[in-house]
């Protein structure tokens, strides 16, 4: 834990370039895979779940796998702080803040919020509590400013300000999703391959995951394609359209000289519903139902929407899913649930005053 070491790609990924030279051990791996007995599945369908919500680093989920490579590069370049950007309840930003503090790096977060709230203290709900406890500097921008300038330009602005102050910042993109960060889930594919070979889980026909910034999906889809896993990967998009993500993932693949078409290695399905980080009653009812039935709590922004999309798929095309062995990737994000308390409370009426005789 917290040690830096040399990185050697799996044999089937050695042709990818550039490959990282080093990695920081930040996550508690391998994350377990276990049977997940969901209700109302098609006949003979098995669902298993990979618990990347249990990778440690204060519930950092899938984000920590990318940060192991990104922060290794930051330290290699002599950075004394990191800058990243995301929504007001960004899991990636919270994970970055924690990991940076573990490695003695200051952290600056550009967080997107509404124009009504951009001039107010953002509070301590959910991910914000952890970010502020570990000392991250929060810079608020409105959604309109984010749309006008874009994440790259906003990140560059803050980086230039910090350099003018004599700092040595390292900029991490939204979600940690660049070609370097993609190695986090190329390595996760190797981990799944090893778990299959060890007999701790079956060989899977389908892999299901949320697609939020593209890096996790790109890495796992590529690793699945190159390794012996060879399942069909389904990415349920929770913000932009599938076409946007096919193009974005293609850019990540091209950045690694993978020589593969994104549309050939992943099926992307629109699952954003009301919009990014906006939850319908049906989505939250499903999260509550699955929590009560299985004890596994899904976040409402990513994995909750992915499961909702998968369940709809299974209802619409039960024949396709019948008899399949499915691996669902739980990418974490539990702290985001606290931002939904008002919506969730009416779904949880199981309390009463104890009658004392």
Catalytically active residues are 90
* Nearest residue to 300 via CA among 342, 336, 249, 246: 336
Q: Within 13 Å and on the Cβ side, how many CA atoms surround 199?
A: 0
Residue 289 CB-density burial (10 A; 0-12 exposed, 13-18 middle, 19+ buried): middle
What does the alpha-carbon distance between residue 294 and residue 5 come to, in Å, rounded to a whole number?
38
Neighbours of 45 (CB within 10 A): 17
Provide CB contacts within 8 A for 198, sequence distance 6+. Answer: none
Structure tokens at 54: 């249990």
Cα 216 from Cα 14, distance rounded (Å): 19
Within 8 A by CB and 6+ apart from 25, the residues are 1, 2, 3, 4, 5, 68
Dig out the tokens for 26 from the structure.
């930040």
- CB atoms closer than 10 angstroms to residue 109: 27
C-alpha to C-alpha distance for 78 and 83, rounded to whole angstroms: 14
168 vs 353: CA distance, rounded Å: 57
Strands (E), 155-307: 169-171, 206-211, 232-237, 267-270
The CA–CA distances, whole Å, from 161 to 139, 142, 157, 165, 272 equal 12, 19, 6, 7, 35
């Amino acid at each position: 834990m917290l040690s830096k070491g040399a990185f050697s790609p799996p044999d089937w990924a050695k042709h990818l370039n550039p490959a990282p030279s080093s990695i920081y051990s930040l996550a508690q791996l391998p994350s377990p895979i276990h049977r997940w007995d969901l209700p109302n599945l098609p006949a003979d369908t098995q669902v298993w779940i990979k618990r990347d919500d249990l990778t440690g680093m204060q519930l950092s989920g899938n984000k920590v796998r990318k940060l192991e490579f990104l922060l290794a590069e930051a330290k290699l370049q002599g950075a004394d702080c990191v800058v990243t950007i995301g929504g007001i309840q960004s899991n990636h930003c919270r994970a970055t803040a924690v990991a940076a503090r573990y490695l003695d790096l200051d952290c600056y977060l550009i967080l997107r919020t509404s124009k009504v709230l951009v001039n107010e203290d953002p509070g301590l709900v959910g991910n914000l509590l952890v970010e502020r406890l570990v000392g991250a500097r929060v810079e608020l921008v409105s959604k309109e400013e984010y749309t006008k300038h874009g994440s790259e330009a906003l990140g560059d602005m803050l980086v230039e300000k910090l350099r003018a102050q004599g700092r040595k910042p390292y900029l991490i993109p939204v979600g940690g999703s660049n070609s370097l960060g993609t190695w986090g889930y190329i390595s996760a594919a190797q981990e799944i391959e090893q778990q299959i070979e060890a007999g701790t889980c079956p060989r899977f026909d389908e892999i299901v995951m949320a697609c939020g910034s593209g890096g996790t999906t790109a890495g796992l889809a590529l690793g699945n394609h190159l390794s012996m896993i060879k399942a069909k990967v389904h990415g349920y998009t929770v913000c932009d359209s599938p076409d946007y993500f096919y193009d974005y993932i293609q850019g990540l693949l091209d950045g690694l000289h993978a020589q593969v078409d994104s549309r050939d290695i992943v099926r992307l399905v629109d699952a954003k519903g009301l919009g990014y980080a906006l939850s319908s009653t049906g989505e939250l009812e499903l999260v509550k139902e699955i929590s009560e039935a299985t004890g596994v709590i899904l976040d409402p922004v990513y994995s909750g929407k992915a499961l909702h999309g998968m369940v709809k798929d299974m209802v619409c095309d039960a024949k396709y899913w019948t008899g399949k062995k499915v691996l669902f990737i739980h990418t974490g994000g539990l702290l985001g649930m606290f931002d939904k308390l008002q919506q969730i409370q009416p779904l949880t009426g199981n309390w009463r005053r104890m009658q004392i005789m």
